[in-house]
């Protein structure tokens, strides 16, 4: 079972639906998991989260309010315990950005600090629209990753900020005047800047890959 952390993050239901796929519905993430045959539950219950085989941190919106809600609901310590227990954790869009140390959005805000790096605004002197909205091709830099199946594939991005981190954590990038990390990885902590639940069959395959990682984790506990 995959636990989707419920903290009013905007795309929560979209991810859950990507697993029963309904691309035009606000529940796409949860549905996407259902579509590919994975059990996903939306929850803020620490016991449910810590007994899951994988945890998903969604997110659409601004960095500081998202961190504030996670703290208010006691979910920051729960997420740290998830990582301590080596439970696979996937952050999507803002959820991925929250995995890093700090964001400069509306002034410095500390993040979860699970992966070294800082969230920065996409430069506005590139002659490109900000926010970055649309389909971009991914280039994989670490073919050993389970998510290397995103290589040369197009996924859907909606964001104004990107992650500046060490290349060792960057699995793929998409070029938008600068190289934007699309998939990041540090141990069993993973992030996707794009929206897999809005990225058609490519996105579903990536969620399925995460599902495979969670199933391997579940098997390791037996």
Q: Residues 114-146, buried b or exposed e (16+ Cβ, 10 A)? A: bbebbbeebeeeeeeeeebeeebebebbeeebe
Average pLDDT, the chain: 90
State how far the alpha carbon of 63 is from the alpha carbons of 104, 119, 126, 157, 162, in Å.
9, 9, 23, 17, 12
* Entry pTM: 0.90
Q: What is the pLDDT of residues 139-192, one digit of tens each?
A: 999 999 999 999 999 999 999 999 999 999 999 999 999 999 999 999 999 999
Start-to-end CA distance of the chain, whole Å, equals 15
Choose which CATH entry (3.40.50.2000, 3.40.630.10, 3.40.50.880, 3.20.20.150) describes domain 2-220.
3.40.50.880
Residues tagged active-site = 93, 195, 197
Which residues lie below 8 Å from residue 37, measured CB to CB, with a gap of 6+?
Answer: 19
- R_g of the chain, CA atoms, integer Å: 16
Domain boundaries, the chain: 2-220
Query: Averaged over 95-119, what is the pLDDT?
Result: 96
Residue 158 has which token pair?
Answer: 């909606």
Tell me how crowded residue 173 is: count the other CB atoms within 10 A of its CB.
22
Q: Please report where in the chains the tokens 């990038």 appear, as a residue.
A: 173
Band of pLDDT at residue 17, cut at 50, 70 and 90: very low
Q: What is the pLDDT of residues 21-49, one digit of tens each?
A: 332 333 577 788 888 998 899 999 999 99
Tell me how crowded residue 37 is: count the other CB atoms within 10 A of its CB.
10
């Amino acid at each position: 079972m995959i636990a989707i952390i419920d903290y009013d993050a905007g795309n929560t239901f979209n991810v859950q639906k990507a697993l029963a796929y309904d691309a035009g519905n606000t529940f796409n993430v949860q549905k996407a998991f259902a579509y590919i045959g994975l059990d996903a539950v939306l929850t803020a219950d620490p016991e449910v989260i810590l007994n899951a085989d994988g945890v998903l941190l969604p997110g659409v919106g601004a960095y500081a309010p998202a961190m504030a809600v996670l703290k208010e609901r006691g979910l920051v310590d729960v997420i740290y315990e998830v990582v301590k227990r080596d439970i696979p954790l996937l952050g999507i869009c803002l959820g991925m950005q929250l995995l890093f140390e700090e964001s400069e959005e509306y002034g410095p805000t500390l993040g979860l600090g699970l992966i070294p790096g800082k969230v920065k605004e996409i430069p506005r002197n590139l002659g490109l629209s900000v926010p970055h909205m649309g389909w971009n091709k991914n280039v994989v830099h670490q073919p050993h990753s389970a998510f290397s199946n995103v290589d040369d594939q197009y996924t859907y991005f909606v964001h104004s900020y990107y992650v500046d981190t060490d290349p060792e954590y960057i699995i793929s990038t998409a070029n938008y005047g600068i190289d934007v990390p699309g998939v990041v990885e540090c141990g069993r902590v993973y992030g996707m800047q794009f929206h897999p639940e809005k990225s058609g069959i490519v996105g579903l395959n990536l969620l399925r890959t995460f599902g495979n990682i969670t199933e391997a984790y579940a098997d390791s506990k037996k």
